[in-house]
Structure 1
Amino acid sequence: MELNPFLSTDIQDLIQKLGDRNTKARLDAANALARKGNEALDEVTKLLNHDDYTFRRIAAYVLGKIGNPDSVEILVEALGDDNSDVRKSAAQALNRIGKPAIPLLIRALGNISKDVRASAVWSLSKMGSMVVDPLIEALASEVKDVRASAVWALSKVGTPSIAPLVQLIDNDEKNVRESAIWGLAKIGTPAIEKLAEHWNVRIGEDAREGESETDSVDISDLIAGGENAIKQWIKFMIDNRHKPEGLESTPESEVPKEE
């Protein structure tokens, strides 16, 4: 491995130590490089092209610790690395960088590689409420993989995604409606409770004997039936409790499938 001869001796030494056989020595060197910050940025970035995946994995880790937004693009590229440990390290680094990484991670949801999409979803889902609005916007994409990946990420974000998804179940665009329904179904119990509140539906013991199916819901039954049962309940409620003009159910076969 050739190093820049103009590098400070300590950075050269630390980069060499990234290949140490001792795990603690490698970690200590990585953290020391991260403390160097932008001074070490260029040389650490070059390591993402190293033949040894261990260097690539550690390089992604260090870039995440440094946290420079300029690293986002190459870290997103690293989401497609052949090695799963490198992909995971890159996803964690992007998660650590946070908000500046969101636009390129959203774009990565439509990548041809399933590994890239999965890594982008993982990274986005760990950012919490800050990614909800961009992911909601992604549900309007014409690309099926983008919509499916956005649903997956929103479901992993969980509770902060529920209210925005509920607002989309009446959307004029069929793909957006179906994606919202799918996302709510994946979230499960908290989403059903929010929908019951939205439709003023009684739950469990609050339900009255003999009430119609649009007036009460047994959450335990829906959860036991899985995502499909929840989706069908939401569609049933849309069709039979309130019927926005132009809203129609979509066959189950047209709902995007999670990979």
Structure 2
Amino acid sequence: MSLYQYAREENAERLRDALGSDSAAVRRRAAEFLGEVGDVDNQPTVDGLLRAATSDDDAEVRGAAVDALDELGQEALERLLEELTGTSGSEAEWVTARKFARALKADRPELRMAAANALGGLDDASGLQHLVEALDDEDSRVRLRACQACGTFADQRSVPALTERLDDEDPRVRRAAANALGNVGTDQALSPLLDLLDDGDESLRRIAAGALGKANNPEPVEPLARALGDESAVVRNAAVYSVIELLSNVPTEQSHAVRDRVVSELKSADDATVVEPLVEILTDGQQSRQRRNAAWILGRVAEPESAIAVEALADALADEDAQTAQFAATSLKSLGGPIVEDRLLDRIGTEHPEDARAKAVFVLGQVGGQETLNRLEGLTDDESSAVRQRVFSAVSKLRAGGP
């Protein structure tokens, strides 16, 4: 049976046995799985990982065991540090933080790794400066965990040192530094990520594209638009999400100019690349501002023949956020065409919410043809006054030959 199957069955005993394998790769994977499925109250598991973290002859196995103890919880990681530093678990957190900070100077890299992990888990910013210094550690495993820990603090003071790590020789460190800068999220922290959109590492491009939507200025618009042509689908998807987030974040006085630039750039991109993520944001997004922006942009960048865009916009007529529903109606009017007419005719029945029906009728009055006129004439005695009012207006326009 494979280690993966043992992990699926949460068979910690078999995974602990694998820590004694002759293969370093097997021992490392066993440690990683124990971090995922182990229990901090299971003494044999903790002891096995402690032995691996302190005495295994392979550096990657020791590192995996340190991280596994961290995964089990602060208590397990502190046990490792207690053994190596003499720390008492009963001490105040600020005392513990000081001892962990001192451990970042220890000779053993595994101890420095554990200290970086532990400091990242403490609610004590006094350890930040020590973590920043650890970003220059000679061991890339320590630099990696120092980057990750800095990311948990998301403190502006770590930005210069994290930026330097974007040129680290270890790609894992570069990714961790990019993630940490994204967590900081200030314009100063995000600016170095712009260049990463052209990096050869797909993961770095994805991290950068996903983080740049947090900016409070329009500078990332054009680089993100270029990323819409990236060879990687995950990078393109992250870029679209960030463009929408960017529209939600930029100051009001800049929003109009940014919207114009966004629409211009998105219209020049491949339709499927842009439309599919926008539809996903509109249908599954949790933030009203993002759904509004997605609804608004779809009416300007989608083709009238785009069934998924029209379907999503038609569904959004019933959105609980009134502005999202209104933007959806406006976008459907802008798109027009047979598909819009067909989807809206499906939504004028009484099984749909009153407001959504009224909006559907309004748009049909702008884009409909003879079939729409025939259907709407049957709604002149609808039980909803809002729907009837829209019907009378729409029928009048259609009989007159248009709006």
Q: TM-score, normalised by structure 1?
A: 0.53
- Unaligned runs of 5+ residues in structure 2 are 1-97, 249-254, 283-293, 295-308, 314-326, 348-356, 370-403
Q: Which has the higher contact order (CA 8 A, sep 6+)?
A: 1
Change (3 A) 1:153 1:134: farther
Match for residue 122 of structure 1? 210
Q: Indicate whether 1:197 and 2:288 are aligned.
A: no
SS at match of 1:134: coil
Q: Indicate whether 1:106 and 2:194 are aligned.
A: yes
Cα displacement string for residues 49-68 of structure 1 (whole angstroms, at most 9, x for unaligned residues): 524x2x12211023332542
Change (3 A) 1:152 1:108: same
SS at match of 2:204: helix
1:188: Cα distance to partner? 0.5
Change (3 A) 1:139 1:62: closer
User: Hey, what's the Cα distance between the residues in 2 that align with 1:28 and 1:196?
Assistant: 52
Amino acid at match of 1:74: E
RMSD: 4.7
User: Hey, what's the Cα distance between the residues in 2 that align with 1:20 and 1:109?
Assistant: 35
1:136: Cα distance to partner? 1.9
Cα displacement string for residues 92-126 of structure 1 (whole angstroms, at most 9, x for unaligned residues): 3112221112211122111233232122223335x
Q: Give the counterpart of 1:137 among 222, 225, 236.
A: 222
User: Hey, what's the Cα distance between the residues in 1 that align with 2:177 and 2:132?
Assistant: 16
1:197: Cα distance to partner? 1.9
User: Hey, what's the Cα distance between the residues in 2 that align with 1:198 and 1:70?
Assistant: 44
Change (3 A) 1:34 1:147: same
Q: Larger radius of gyration, structure 1 or 2?
A: 2
- Unaligned runs of 5+ residues in structure 1 are 1-7, 217-259
1:46: Cα distance to partner? 0.6
User: Hey, what's the Cα distance between the residues in 1 that align with 2:202 and 2:116?
Assistant: 30
Amino acid at match of 1:113: D
User: Hey, what's the Cα distance between the residues in 2 that align with 1:29 and 1:18?
Assistant: 15
Contact 2:100 2:119 in 1 (8 A): no
SS at match of 1:117: helix
Contact 1:105 1:124 in 2 (8 A): yes
Change (3 A) 1:123 1:19: farther
Pairs within 5 Å for 1:63-212:
63-64=150-151, 65=153, 66-68=155-157, 69-78=159-168, 81-83=170-172, 86-99=173-186, 100-124=188-212, 127=214, 130=215, 133-139=218-224, 144-145=229-230, 151-157=236-242, 160=245, 167=260, 171=264, 176-179=266-269, 181=271, 182-188=273-279, 190=282, 191=294, 192=309, 193=313, 194=327, 196-200=329-333, 203=344, 205=347, 206=357, 207=360
Percentage identity across paired residues of the two chains: 17
Higher helix share: 2
SS at match of 2:219: helix
Contact 1:75 1:94 in 2 (8 A): no
